Amino acid sequence: MKVLVSGGAGFIGSALIRFLIQEADVSVINLDKLTYAASPEALDAVRASTRYHFEQVDICDREAVTSVFERHRPDAVMHLAAESHVDRSIDGPEACLQTNVVGTFVLLEATREYLKQLSTESRDAFRFHHISTDEVFGDLSPDAPPFNEVSPYSPSSPYAATKAASDHLVRAWGRTYGVPVVLSNCSNNYGPFQYPEKLIPLTVFNALRGQPLPLYGQGDQIRDWLHVDDHARALFRILCGGELGETYLVGGESERTNLEVVEAICDQLQPLIPRPGGYRPLIRFVDDRPGHDRRYAVSPSKALRTLGWTRHYSFEAGIQQTVSWYVDHQDWLFGSGADGRRLGSGSAG
């Protein structure tokens, strides 16, 4: 199998590619624009493989995307390329609109034209797997059951709205044009190589510098946490075994408040790099951001039941592994372009 992965130099995309090359014996074409959040170093482990190919392409560039299809002839697409930071989408929504909506449209259209060139057998085997977020469902009340595959969409932020739009485009291209699509929506991912504007790496970044650890409001927003390596395994299961037109939710069943997550990071850091008085006194509460959803949680029961996917990481084991990785890779953490200008006090959670 030859898979075209869009956004493969990003956090989730690079974890997926490492899995596909190292554990699944799949050939990969990594299509990535290399924006600020890309981490080419995350692919060092597979770069020398003859099954790995990189194309620096903006998914909004239809001519360039079409050329990649013609030259590499993929058997599947796994679409992850996205502008994914909520604060950035609030400050400048146009970039989200371009990448998440226009980019998805371009990739769908390139796929649709490419499918016309394939034999019936190859076309029937082809899959377009669109990877999305639980944020499309909006705010979940504290006592409500987790979202499932038929939960209504109610996005709150420009980021979530553009991802919801891209989900709808994918379903429409499946229904109207017969593009063989499958979709998945995931909960908050964490793990190695996550750009330090997101909660967990940002907290480690600031803590190791002795800087305040900012949390929106009172830090009582609840998220479900999923280790990125578990997500990568789920994505491959969905690509290979998911039913056409179906959606699968992928979650860690590990709900924590943002404050609980930051406290867990502080407690993991203390024995690794002791700090007088510990790291918890660095926690600071800052003004909440506009439209901040209180809770996200998804039920992965469909993926667990129908695809035989299982998680390897509990939150406790995953956060220990993740914090240890950042401590052991401080050159990457502090050299990733995270220079304070990009890490405002309101970037957490």
pLDDT tens, residue by residue, 240-267: 999 999 999 999 999 999 999 999 999 9
pLDDT at 337: 53
pLDDT at 85: 66
Q: Answer yes or no: is 272 within a domain.
A: no
pLDDT at 89: 66
Q: Answer yes or no: is 282 within a domain.
A: no
pLDDT at 35: 87
Instruction: Residue 300: give its domain's CATH number.
Output: 3.40.50.720
pLDDT at 17: 98
Q: Answer yes or no: is 214 within a domain.
A: no
Q: Answer yes or no: is 156 within a domain.
A: yes
Catalytic residue numbers read: 134-135, 159
Residues of the chain with confidence (pLDDT) below 50: 339-349
pLDDT at 343: 38
Q: Answer yes or no: is 180 within a domain.
A: yes
**Domain span holding position 89:** 2-194+226-254+292-313
pTM exceeds 0.85, yes or no:
yes
Q: Answer yes or no: is 186 within a domain.
A: yes
For the chain, what is the domain count?
A: 1
SS (H, E, C) the chain: CEEEEECCCCHHHHHHHHHHHHCCCCEEEEEECCCCCCCHHHHCCCCCCCCEEEEECCCCCHHHHHHHHHHHCCCEEEECCCCCCHHHHHHCHHHHHHHHHHHHHHHHHHHHHHHCCCCHHHHHHCEEEEEEEHHHHCCCCCCCCCECCCCCCCCCCHHHHHHHHHHHHHHHHHHHHCCCEEEEEECEEECCCCCCCCHHHHHHHHHHCCCCEEEECCCCCEEEEEEHHHHHHHHHHHHHHCCCCCEEEECCCCEEEHHHHHHHHHHHHHHHCCCCCCCHHHEEEECCCCCCCCECCECCHHHHHHHCCCCCCCHHHHHHHHHHHHHHCHHHHHCCCCCCCCCCCCCCC
Q: Answer yes or no: is 49 within a domain.
A: yes
pLDDT tens, residue by residue, 73-112: 999 999 999 887 676 767 778 888 999 999 999 999 999 9
